[in-house]
Chains A and B, each alone.
Chain A
């Protein structure tokens, strides 16, 4: 970058400034821009390499090294007013900065402990809901059907998206969407946490940690099989495996409050409302 500014734009930047610019730019990239964040040990290794590279860069040739060190020499060895000023400034700033850094490092810190929670843990092979065994590999939503009762393969139900589920002669699919919405908003009250717009920011969401799932985000139900969502709805927080913190999630085990059909309908409603399709094996 420094090279671009210098050679292409004709703005000379002294080497003593170039090196820190490169170093700081690299730090910003590794620390803030790179996602997901890298651990500190890795950052330290990367920055060590960058430091060495900076030194190699400024010491490529004798003139370059001269240019790099000349301001330092000037600061140390000359006795003009300017040199003195810069010397006093540098000699005062370095110990103060290091002392402050040490103090900051030593101050006890009380941040929230880092707990890595698995948001979508692996589902069990089968679950038992209302005395029926459900194989999660093969389970399908019984309400994802057309008027003749034929199963609507993913994408085929898109004809119903954006249509009115309250219309007089709504097709069966939309009637089930309507029942699902009635469960979501009425019987169950899912919206208190997941929100009227299904974005996971309902009236109670602010109080919970972990926060309720955002179905409007392409990273949740759009990425999941419908049977996985059924497992989450039926078993709720307490049905999670250990790595997903079953003790902390406020998601109710809905099998206690809803029938199996109501749970499938509410899932149908969630996909319809957000316009997503469940993930499939094919």
Chain B
């Protein structure tokens, strides 16, 4: 019996070892596969050196034309001049193909792009613009056909098959892995030798030179390097320094961004790429949107000891990572606004038994204060130029009448500069609303009111009651809201806002409770983009969760459970032993 058992057990041991080996093999295969995905991506890139573009066949061009007039013409226009119907709405205009000027390439500055570059742009889209990833809609064949059509028919001023118009593909060389030292070297080059700082700003938020124009005469603003998911050439792989290395090396044709291939050595460019990558928060990316994945529950942490912080740099904030809140333009109700400049807020919050405090941080290239005589940095000129003389407004609409006829300009360009501002909106008496009911997210509705906490850059804090965009009134009676700290520096606002959990007017002020999902909405205004009132950036609903402190019993009960189990085990063992002795 015993020998058999031993045999049994050793067989079992062998099996376990085999299973372990299989598991290890599978894990290794998985790692290889992930590594392979990166390799696949790099396989799609053109090889360094001299490059000859492919010659499209007449059939491909014809088939590509059909694809173009179904899917692409709406932005890029019937003649490829970047003047389709959407062009009047967009800042980052659709590409005008006629000149053969393309931003995202592997070729040297000023040269035409390679076939692979165009294929990658069509496949992955261009983040931060309206160009979507067509790889999910068009087959590989269709994508190649449409590129054939664009190359031969729509690029008019240059010829891809012109032997004098040569293409040299850049070399990535030997990638230098990121390290503290490399980042420091990169920062040094960024600040001095390469002068990146002059446009992109000290902390990389694109708040340097804001008066430049692109080749077509449209205003263009330096990229905010702290949001790599918005960079055109990120290929939906936003944290990969290769993308930055490539763009530093090739420059972005048609824009003020030059190539640094001759100014900086290969090593120096890798250091700069590593520094640029160090500027951003590495949020997990949602593959569906290619933006940071959004958690719709915003956490506020309990502070048991000491005061709530009032300084944005207080280490107490580091209790929790900053949460990402995405913002869109208010294009829903009049006055519609299409080109918001604030596209996210970083949120932190703490509370104690009396008060709650929020730290809100958002990027804004300009510090704006109301001045009707000052010229705004972003204005309607953003979407017009000498090349687009006919289009001079974002607000063409049949607004509010639904009648046919010519489009009306309901919002003539606002004059001057407004205040930067931010607001958090709660629901009045949210505890009494039957879940999941809430007031309409844009400032409420006739039936359900909202409690809006708004700060403006003139230093004013207002508590407002909202029953919709048209029905907003200032609550004069109570001053519960305190803004402890608001400062703009290097293209970013930081604001600390505090309020008591309970107030004297529970009818109109949201009363905050811990352990409940409290519905909240966020709004932001950039005064230099003509934003005020209903012209703003906004979110939809989030939930604020003020986390109750962990009760003590959580640390007491599990050990008790373990103790009881140990006792039971002892009983089982005793019984088994007894039985063995009896059997013997």
A interface vs B, CB < 8 Å?
12-14, 17, 70-71, 73-74, 76-78, 80, 82, 87, 91, 94-96, 98-100, 102-103, 106-108, 110-113, 115, 129-130, 162-167, 181-182, 184-187, 189, 191-193, 195-197, 199, 201-210, 216, 236-238, 242, 245-248, 250-252, 255-262, 273
**24 interchain pairs (CB within 8 A)?**
A13-B15, A14-B8, A71-B8, A78-B5, A87-B573, A94-B565, A95-B562, A95-B566, A98-B565, A99-B562, A102-B558, A103-B554, A115-B436, A165-B73, A182-B85, A185-B89, A186-B396, A197-B71, A201-B132, A206-B294, A209-B540, A237-B332, A252-B331, A259-B398
CA distance A87 to B86 in the complex (A): 72
Does the CB pair B332–A247 fall under 8 Å? no
Contact A181 B74 (CB under 8 A): yes
| B41 located at the interface, meaning its Cβ lies under 8 Å from any Cβ of chain A in the complex | no
Residues on A with beta carbons closer than 8 Å to the beta carbon of B553: 106
B70 at interface, CB cutoff 8 A: yes
Q: A98-B562, A112-B296, A185-B84 are in contact. List 17 more A-B contacts (CB 8 A).
A: A14-B15, A71-B5, A76-B576, A77-B576, A77-B579, A99-B562, A102-B557, A102-B561, A113-B435, A192-B329, A197-B134, A201-B132, A237-B332, A247-B437, A248-B441, A250-B540, A257-B334
Q: Is the CB of A196 within 8 A of B86?
A: yes
Enumerate chain A residues within 8 angstroms of B2, measured Cβ to Cβ.
78
Residues of B near any A CB (own CB < 8 A)? 2, 5-6, 8-9, 11-12, 15, 65-66, 69-71, 73-75, 78, 84-86, 88-89, 129-134, 136-137, 286, 288-289, 291, 294-297, 299, 326-329, 331-334, 336, 338, 343, 396-400, 402-404, 407, 435-441, 445, 448, 515, 517, 539-541, 543, 545, 547-548, 550-551, 553-554, 557-559, 561-563, 565-566, 569, 572-573, 576-577, 579-580
Alpha-carbon distance A197/B86, docked complex (angstroms): 13
**Complex CA distance for A17 and B15, rounded to whole angstroms:** 10
The chain A residue with its CB closest to the CB of B74 is: A185
Q: Is the CB of B137 within 8 A of A197?
A: yes
Say yes or no: A206 contacts B291, CB within 8 Å.
Answer: yes
Q: Cβ of A209 and Cβ of B541 under 8 Å apart?
A: yes
Whether the Cβ atoms of B86 and A191 lie closer than 8 Å is yes
Q: A247–B569 contact, CB under 8 A?
A: no
B398 proximity list for chain A (CB < 8 A): 187, 257-259, 262
B558 contact set on A, CB distance < 8 A = 99-100, 102-103, 106
Chain B residues closer than 8 Å to A203, beta-carbon distance: 129-130
Tell me how far the C-beta of B292 lies from the nearest C-beta in chain A, rounded to whole angstroms.
Answer: 8
Query: Contact between B131 and A196 (Cβ–Cβ < 8 Å)?
Result: yes
B42 to A: closest C-beta gap in Å: 26
Q: Across the A-B interface, how many residue pairs have beta carbons closer than 8 Å?
A: 236
* Least CB separation from B294: chain A residue: A206
Q: How far is the CA of A251 from the CA of B332 in the complex (A)?
A: 7
Most chain A CB inside 10 Å of its own CB: which residue of B84, B399, B540: B540
Q: Which residues of B contact A95 (CB under 8 A)?
A: 561-563, 565-566, 569
Contact of A256 among B329, B402, B562 (CB under 8 A): B402
* Contact, CB under 8 Å: B338 / A189: yes
CB-nearest residue of chain A to B332: A252
Whether A206 and B441, one on each chain, are in contact in the complex, defined by CB atoms closer than 8 angstroms, is no
Interfacial chain B residues near A106, Cβ < 8 Å: 553-554, 557-558
CA of A115 to CA of B6, assembled, Å: 56
A258 to chain B, nearest CB (A): 6
- In the assembled complex, the CB of B149 is this many whole angstroms from the nearest CB of chain A, namely 12
- Nearest chain B CB to A76 CB, angstrom units: 4
Complex alpha-carbon distance, A191 and B332, angstroms? 13
Query: A188 to B66, alpha carbons, bound, how many Å?
Result: 25
| Closest A residue by C-beta to B565 | A95
Docked Cα-Cα span, A261 to B402, in Å, equals 10
Closest residue to A161 on the B side, CB-wise?
A: B70
A87: B residues at CB distance < 8 A: 573
Distance, CA A63 to CA B445, complexed state (A): 73
Contact A186 B86, beta carbon cutoff 8 Å: yes
A192-B85 contact in complex given A73-B576, A113-B435, C-beta closer than 8 Å: no
In the complex the two chains form, is B86's CB within 8 Å of A70's CB?
Answer: no
In the complex the two chains form, what is the Cα distance from A248 to B89 in whole Å? 25
A80 to B137, CA, bound (A): 65
Instruction: Tell me which of A71, A113, A192 contacts B543 (CB under 8 A).
Output: A113
Contact A201 B576, beta carbon cutoff 8 Å: no
In the complex, which residue of chain B has the Cβ closest to the Cβ of A205? B289
In the bound complex, residues from chain A placing their C-beta under 8 Å from that of B89 are 185-186, 189, 192
**Also in contact, A248 and B328, with CB within 8 A (given A102-B557, A113-B543, A206-B286):** no
Asked if A196 and B75 make an inter-chain contact with CB atoms under 8 angstroms apart, the answer reads yes
B289–A248 touching, CB < 8 Å: no
In contact, B75 and A185 (Cβ under 8 angstroms): yes
What residues of B have a CB within 8 angstroms of the CB of A246 in the complex? 440
- Is A70's CB under 8 angstroms from B5's CB? yes
Enumerate the 3 nearest inter-chain pairs by beta-carbon distance, A residue then B residue, closest first.
A186-B85, A207-B326, A204-B328
Q: Tell me whether A191 and B130 are in contact in the complex, defined as CB-CB below 8 angstroms, given that A13-B15, A95-B569 are known contacts.
A: yes
Contact A74 B9 (CB under 8 A): yes
Chain A residue contacts of B74, Cβ below 8 A:
181, 184-185, 191, 196
A112 touches B569 (CB 8 A): no
Measured CB to CB, the closest approach of chain B to A191, in angstroms, equals 6
Bound: A206/B559 CA distance, A: 44
Contacts of B331 in A (CB 8 A): 189, 192, 204, 252
* A181 CB, nearest partner CB in chain B, Å: 5
Contact for B440 among A164, A184, A205, A238, CB less than 8 A: A238
Given A247-B440, A257-B399, A108 and B328 touching (CB < 8 A)? Answer: no
* B residues less than 8 Å from A191 (CB atoms): 74, 86, 130
Task: Return A231 CB to nearest CB of chain B, in Å.
Answer: 15
Q: Are A77 and B402 in contact (CB under 8 A)?
A: no
Contact of B70 with A273 in the complex, beta carbons under 8 Å: yes
A185 to B73, CA, bound (A): 10
Question: Are B85's CB and A181's CB within 8 A?
Answer: yes
CA distance A115 to B341 in the complex (A): 32
CB distance A99 to B9 under 8 Å? Answer: no
Contact A108 B559 (CB under 8 A): no
Of A129, A130, A196, A252, the residue contacting B132 (CB under 8 A) is: A196
Shortest C-beta distance, A192 to chain B (Å), equals 6
**Shortest Cβ distance from residue A14 to the other chain B in the assembled complex, whole angstroms:** 6
Residues of chain A contacted by B403 (CB below 8 angstroms): 259
| Residues in B neighbouring A113, C-beta threshold 8 A | 435-436, 517, 543
Cβ of B445: which chain A residues have Cβ within 8 Å of it?
238, 247
**Closest Cβ neighbor of B343 among chain A residues:** A207
* B577→A196 contact, CB < 8 A: no
CB distance from A49 to the nearest CB of B (A): 26
Our pick among B396, B540, B547, B569 for the contact of A108 (Cβ within 8 Å) is B547
